[in-house]
Amino acid sequence: MSITGAMNAAISGMRAAARGSEIVSNNISNALTPSYGKRGLELSALSYGATGGVRIDGITRHMNEGVAADRRLADAAQQNTQAAVSFFRQLEDIAGLAGDSSGLGGRLAAFEESLITAASRPDAVERLGNTVTNAQWLVDGIGNAARDIQEMRTRADTEIAQDVQTLNTALQQVEQLNAQINTTRSRNGDSPALLDQRQAVLDTIGAIVPINVVPRDNGTVAIYSEGGAVLLDITAAEIGFEQQNIVTEFQTVDAGTLSGLTLNGQDVRTSALGGGRLGGNFAVRDTYSVQAQAQLDALARDLVERFADPAVDPTRGAGDPGLFTDAGAAFDPLNEVGLSTRLSLNAAVDPEVGGEVTRLRDGLGAVVAGPAGDATLLNSLRTALDTARAPASGGFGTGARSAADLFSSFSSALATTRSNAEQDLSFSSARLTELTGLQMSEGVDTDQELQNLLLIERAYAANARVIQAADAMLETLTRL
């Protein structure tokens, strides 16, 4: 090899060492960067005749796609269960835990206790007034819980709209990145930064919808949902959704009053895009909230029908509402949906609308005041609460229950459902943490990178020494 060839070979070695040090520094600085794939320098021997050296073939991005795919699915599952847990926790805060004095069960117990107190002194108007106050407090608790459920449905609808917008934007970004990666690869270029960027966008999509990413030519990918929907194959799909400003208890997807999803203008099953945060919000809006609302309506119906029995208060006329009413009127079993928000106290006993608290003692339909010491009607009202009767709706089963037992069943079922959802969340969170740690462990190893840096430093110094020696030889020749 000539002196010039030796110098060229050494220069190529220094160039490779410099590029290697750049890659090592990038790897170390991005060791904790999500979606970053470790870089590696690809080298090969360069030989043309008597001239040698090293050639930089490119930069390779190292990423375990199998682990990345599993982590995305775990993230989707965690997001899905988190939506359920958040809903049930909020609902439990609204309805109150068992034994919570301000919860629905506690309000019913306060109303029953005030009836007992009033029956012991039916002539004490202040005790009758306290009973009316507690009855109104119970009505307010049920109504507020129902309205809060509809607010959670509205919030879920809003979050669905936001997720759909994010999903459409992310799919378009992947389409554009695919095109850029394809162009770069066609020109024999490297695209690790583009791959990192696409990985981050895929992670965003994977949190909303569980996806399968399928490799295509020249580094491009296609995206399919776990439910079988084609989200991207050359071109990005367009997901459609119509947001509602307010969601009421009467609105459902089946009735056509709430929006489902469309894929490129065609209706698509929600389950086709379920399993992630999007599916979790749909479950909150269309399943969990609807079931909770139905159970609250069943509790309200049970209260209304208990006190609408003619045997409880014989002073009422036929068809007149009892102590609890449907917006002031008698309850129609065919109009149960939304009863919990319409539940109201009979105006005859409500002083705020001109009623008399003494009608609790004398009867809702009494035209004259009865004996002040007669507790017959008050005892009948209490008996109505304690009477075991089978709930007509709400999915509570066919067993006969008192009002307190029915309210307790609602709270217990809610606590059990919330506990089960938290167990699912604990499992999915642990799985996500484990897979995230596994992905990080297969990423940048800073110890290994520092060792590589020492090797690069030695190689650089050795190549520099070759150049120094060649320079000394040339200087000797020039002195001849």
Determine contact, residues 181/215, Cβ cutoff 8 Å. Answer: no
The answer, yes or no, to whether residue 121 has pLDDT greater than 70, is yes
Which residues does 178 contact at the CB level (< 8 Å), separation at least 6? Answer: 198, 216, 220, 221
pLDDT at 457 over 70: yes
Quote the CA–CA distance of 360 and 316 in Å, as a whole number: 12
In a domain, 438, yes or no: no
Q: Which of 22-36, 141-155, 454-468 has the weakest average pLDDT?
A: 22-36
When the pLDDT of each residue in the chain is averaged and rounded to a whole number, the result is 90
If asked whether residues 186 and 201 sit together in one domain, one would say yes
Own/partner pairs for 367-375, CB < 8 Å, 24+ apart?
372/122, 372/123, 373/122, 373/123, 374/122, 375/118, 375/119, 375/120, 375/122
Structure tokens belonging to residue 142: 């049920």
Instruction: Determine the pLDDT at residue 85.
Output: 96
pLDDT band for 51, please (50, 70, 90 cuts): low
Rounded Cα–Cα distance for residues 422 and 308 (Å): 40
Q: How many domains does the chain have?
A: 2
Percent of the chain with pLDDT strictly greater than 90:
63
Structural domain of residue 255, as residue ranges? 70-432
Q: State the residue for tokens 């089978």.
A: 390
Q: How many CB atoms lie within 10 A of CB 148?
A: 17
Say whether pLDDT at 160 is over 90: yes
Residue 59 shares a structural domain with residue 74: no
Considering the domain architecture, whether residues 365 and 467 belong to the same structural domain is answered as no
pTM of the model: 0.87
Residue 317 has a pLDDT of: 84
pLDDT of residue 419: 94
In this prediction, residue 186 carries a pLDDT of: 85
CA distance linking residue 446 with residue 36, whole number of Å? 14
Is residue 347 within 8 Å of 328, Cβ to Cβ? yes
Residue 103 has pLDDT above 80, yes or no: yes
Higher pLDDT, 308 or 443: 308
pLDDT at 265 over 70: yes
- Structure confidence by residue, pLDDT tens digits, 175-212: 999 999 999 888 887 778 898 899 999 999 999 999 99
Q: Once rounded to an integer, what is the mean pLDDT over residues 75-101?
A: 91
Orientation of helix 125-186 relative to helix 192-208, angle to 10°? 150
Q: How confident is the model at residue 448 (pLDDT cuts 50, 70, 90)?
A: confident
Say what the pLDDT of residue 432 is: 93
CA–CA dist 330, 367 (Å, integer): 20
Q: In whole angstroms, what is the distance from residue 276 CA to residue 205 CA?
A: 9
Same-domain status, 361 and 397: yes
Q: For residue 111, what pLDDT band results from cuts at 50, 70 and 90? A: very high
Rounded percentage of the chain residues whose pLDDT exceeds 70: 99
Q: In this structure, are 335 and 458 located in the same domain?
A: no
Residue with the two structure tokens 């190893």: 445
pLDDT over threshold 90, residue 218 = no
User: Last residue of some domain: 412, 432, 452?
Assistant: 432
Burial 48-78 (b: 16+ CB within 10 A, else e): eeeebbbeeeebebebeeebbbbbbbbbbbb
Number of neighbours of residue 318 by Cβ within 10 angstroms: 6
Q: Evaluate whether residue 338 is within a structural domain.
A: yes
Q: What is the 3-state secondary structure (H, E, C) of the chain?
A: CCHHHHHHHHHHHHHHHHHHHHHHHHHHHCCCCCCCCEEEEEEEECCECCECCEEEEEEEEECCHHHHHHHHHHHHHHHHHHHHHHHHHHHHHHHCCCCCCCCHHHHHHHHHHHHHHHHHCCCCHHHHHHHHHHHHHHHHHHHHHHHHHHHHHHHHHHHHHHHHHHHHHHHHHHHHHHHHHHHHHHCCCCCHHHHHHHHHHHHHHHHHCCEEEEECHHHCEEEEECCCCEEEECEECCEECCCCCCCCCCCCCCCCCCCCEEECCEEECHHHHCCCHHHHHHHHHHHHHHHHHHHHHHHHHHHHHHHHCCCCCCCCCCCCCCCEEECCECCCHHHCCCHHHHEEECHHHCHHHCCCCCHHHHCCCCCCCCCCCCCHHHHHHHHHHHCCECCCCCCCCCCCECHHHHHHHHHHHHHHHHHHHHHHHHHHHHHHHHHHHHHHHCCCCHHHHHHHHHHHHHHHHHHHHHHHHHHHHHHHHHHC
CB atoms under 10 Å from CB of 347, counted, come to: 15
Residues 229 and 306 in one domain: yes
Nearest CA to 301 out of 393, 418, 199 is that of: 393
The C-alpha atoms of residue 298 and residue 302 are separated, in whole angstroms, by: 6
- The one-letter amino acid code at 455 reads L
Same domain, 420 and 457: no
Q: Determine the straight-line distance between the first and last CA of the chain, rounded to whole angstroms.
A: 21
Query: In this structure, are 185 and 243 located in the same domain?
Result: yes
Q: Is residue 437 part of a domain?
A: no
> Which pLDDT score is estimated for 1?
61
Can you give the pLDDT at residue 434? 92
Residues 6+ apart with CB under 8 A from 472: none
Whether residue 329 sits in one domain with residue 185:
yes
Do 81 and 51 sit in the same domain of this protein?
no
**Is residue 59 domain-shared with residue 80, that is, in the same domain?**
no
Residues 219 and 331 in one domain: yes
CA-closest candidate to residue 348, choices 328, 371, 375, 372: 328
Of the pLDDT bands very low, low, confident and very high (cuts 50, 70, 90), residue 26 is confident
